[in-house]
Amino acid sequence: MGMHRKILLLSVVIAVIAGSILAANITFTAAAAAATTGSTTIAASTGRSAGSPHMYSQSRERYANPSGQAIMPLMNGWNQMLTFGKNLFTHGNYRFSHWGPGMSENVTITSAQAKSAVEADIPNLKVGTPSSFRLSWIVPIEDGEGIVTMIRVSHVTANTTDQAKTVVTDSLAKGWTAGTPKLVRTVYYVPLLDSSNKTISYVRVDSRSGNIMLTSSSPTLAVTSAQVKTTVSNAIKNFTVGAVKERVGTWIVSIKDGNKTVMTVILGKINTPKSEDAVNAVKSSLEKGWTAGEPKQQRSVYNVPIIDSNGDTIGNIRVNGRTGDILGFSSMHR
């Protein structure tokens, strides 16, 4: 209830001050108009008509009033409101600084100490497994406790996850250094510089504890995209065609690896009007040869496209990035 009273009281004061500010602003505008030959003079100097909506230069001239008499009530009103608010929330055990996490009293380490923390951690950094995001690869940088930052590598520079990882690994081998930190609220953003002294990413350091802040815990991926592709390529040799299920206008044919359904192939009813036609078409395609495409990582799962003899992608195999196992479908409705 005490806090609600304070908020209500502050709202009333703000309303009163806002009315004072509005009145001061009207007085100020009138004074400015009387002190000049009118707004038409200012508009003429900018090449715009007095009725033009683009009045930036005119506003700038008004706030540059040499006397300062008209603008003082406006500034005093805001100062009174801020002072009252600070005094209100300083009362008791609730400190105003709780509403301002960027207040200087919350910072306990210097920028030099933040920089030293990152420099000390650079020898522990290692490159994680990249993931694709839009037109880039996002390469995580870990230090053993978790991911400390991410580095973006364009698809132009690297076509696969392995290439993206190699690009960053080679850069790390040439040597990284820490740049000059920038304090934002209670966090130091320390730039990571490569051997060319270019900023490639930022590491966050808590200005109160001095600890490096983790983006997330370390991923537990144990297999690379190359290993995943090999796993799927070997599994294709044992693929068999399973059951077929009907869906509106299509047939869904399951592909099995042993007793587990690992993929489905979708066929239209125009070329394969009967379920037997759909099954035979998939069997024929499998006999002509399928290959595994380049895996794409999504979190802890690799998605591997399956390509037929015509070069068309006909399905997708999912592989667990932690164990390297091919994941099955829980049901045929996918």
Q: What mean pLDDT, rounded, does the chain reach?
A: 75
Whole-number pLDDT of residue 131: 84
Q: Which amino acid belongs to residue 214?
A: L
Whole-number pLDDT of residue 257: 94
Tokens (6 digits) for 253: 């044919």
Higher pLDDT, residue 261 or 68:
261
3-state secondary structure of 304: strand
**Band of residue 214 on the pLDDT scale cut at 50, 70, 90:** confident
User: Which distant-in-sequence residues (6+ apart) come within 8 Å of 10 by Cβ?
Assistant: 84, 85, 88
Each domain of the chain, given as residue ranges in start order, spans 2-99, 111-217, 225-320
Report yes or no: 318 and 150 within 8 Å, Cβ to Cβ: no
- Each residue of 143-179: pLDDT tens digit? 877 889 999 999 999 998 889 999 999 999 999 999 9
Higher pLDDT, residue 204 or 47:
204
Whole-number pLDDT of residue 145: 76
Whole-number pLDDT of residue 232: 96
User: Which distant-in-sequence residues (6+ apart) come within 8 Å of 33 by Cβ?
Assistant: 39
Average pLDDT over residues 48-60: 30
* Surface-to-core class of residue 147, CB atoms within 10 Å of its CB (0-12 exposed, 13-18 middle, 19+ buried): middle
Higher pLDDT, residue 25 or 314:
314
How large a percentage of the chain has pLDDT more than 70?
Answer: 65
Average pLDDT over residues 200-212: 93
Whole-number pLDDT of residue 27: 44
* Surface-to-core class of residue 328, CB atoms within 10 Å of its CB (0-12 exposed, 13-18 middle, 19+ buried): middle
Higher pLDDT, residue 223 or 166:
166
So what CATH class is 225-320? Answer: mainly beta
Whole-number pLDDT of residue 12: 64
Closest CA to 59 of 75, 79, 78, 43: 43
**Band of residue 330 on the pLDDT scale cut at 50, 70, 90:** low
3-state secondary structure of 82: helix
Whole-angstrom distance, CA of residue 20 vs CA of residue 74: 8
Tokens (6 digits) for 187: 């966090």
pLDDT at 255 over 80: yes
Closest CA to 210 of 236, 190, 191: 190
- DSSP codes, 123-177: GG-EE---EEETTEEEEEEE-SSEEEEEEEEETTT-SSHHHHHHHHHHHHHH--E
- The residue behind tokens 């509106």 is 248
Q: Which amino acid belongs to residue 180?
A: T
Whole-number pLDDT of residue 58: 30
**Band of residue 286 on the pLDDT scale cut at 50, 70, 90:** very high
Report yes or no: 192 and 203 within 8 Å, Cβ to Cβ: yes
Whole-angstrom distance, CA of residue 266 vs CA of residue 258: 20
pLDDT at 70 over 80: no
User: Which distant-in-sequence residues (6+ apart) come within 8 Å of 101 by Cβ?
Assistant: 185, 186
pLDDT at 333 over 70: no
> Directed axis angle between helix 2-35 and helix 72-90, to 10°?
170
Average pLDDT over residues 216-229: 75
Whole-number pLDDT of residue 193: 96
Whole-number pLDDT of residue 127: 92
Higher pLDDT, residue 283 or 11:
283
Whole-number pLDDT of residue 334: 43
